[in-house]
Structure 1
């Protein structure tokens, strides 16, 4: 159960208002966002506090920004079939030492099935990964030279424009062995 604190934005009613303004049913918003109908109902009634991932899915499905939701603003209508996510609203993940940044480019409703990331690794930086779910596979396309991929006992260097495909259900790593920052596109596929 959610408890309300002073000055806490009322997310549930704001979600409901945005949904109704778009003439969407709970079922339709559930289908667009990947959030279950029962969870949506609980959120709208203030009976559940949504996680960041759930809010992200809902704001993308409603084509609104977090700030609009929190401030109760209704953005101008956009009936375009093209969704544009501003760079400032693209979530990032950094490794412990900050030498690697993953920009989450895939929509949240595909998490756990297929995910894609913009990858930036500082010179000498390493992204170590524990095994993902059984059958998981990664595809790394290098935009710059200097990337080295390890998966299990195998290790390969890849040049600019090359793609490495490797099992990700074993310990794996991506290292920048060059003296310049490295960039690439990382796609994770789950079975």
Structure 2
């Protein structure tokens, strides 16, 4: 896995490149994402590590998924994604480890992500109207997971799979003293 500073630089460069490609100013991206102009600037300069929730908001404002954001642009597209070359990212706030499993550059609406979620960790995502076209399945392999969508809490055990609209507010929580491991299968719906 890349060291933290190298990954922060990579994230900053990618964010700036995507923003420039869409001819968005810092103020325009801030307005679209609800992330302050100052924070976006700090991320682009590798002075701040974005949390999963913050990065998801920026990606949504750019019309991307996290998997697309982390896809390697300089590698030729291949239908095979080998584990050793799959992109890893660790959320600096919770410590959760996200692995982009799907081959990048393929003409598919579906992204597959593997997550190792630490004991006691929690990540919350606010409702995002622009994400209403996207859905996801959360398929738990190990541990336990509490998924709260709106006012409804679902307790997942190994083998359980939860379908959800990601435009709704939702919360991932690992209520036990051991890590949870799960897959997220995201359909961009476009």
Shorter-chain TM-score: which interval?
Answer: 0.5 to 0.7
Cα drift, residue 110 of structure 1: 5.2
- Who is 1:169 aligned against? 167
Structure showing greater radius of gyration is 1
Encode CA deviations 1:154-176: one digit per residue, 9 max, x unaligned: 21001101101112111212111
- In the superposition, the TM-score normalised over structure 1's length comes to 0.54
Give distance in 2, aligned partners of 1:98 and 1:90.
21
- Who is 2:141 aligned against? 143
- Who is 2:82 aligned against? 85
Count of residue pairs the alignment pairs up: 121
The answer (yes or no) to whether the contact 1:126–1:174 under 8 Å persists in 2 is yes
What is the aligned counterpart of 1:59 among 66, 75, 79? 75
What is the aligned counterpart of 1:128 among 116, 124, 127? 124
Give distance in 2, aligned partners of 1:54 and 1:122.
21
Structure 1 segments unaligned to the other structure (5+ residues) = 1-38, 40-51, 64-81
Corresponding position: 1:115 with 2:111: yes
| CA 180–110 in structure 1, closer or farther in 2 if over 3 Å, else same | same
- In the superposition, the TM-score normalised over structure 2's length comes to 0.54
Cα drift, residue 126 of structure 1: 1.5
Cα drift, residue 91 of structure 1: 1.1
CA RMSD of aligned residues (A): 2.9
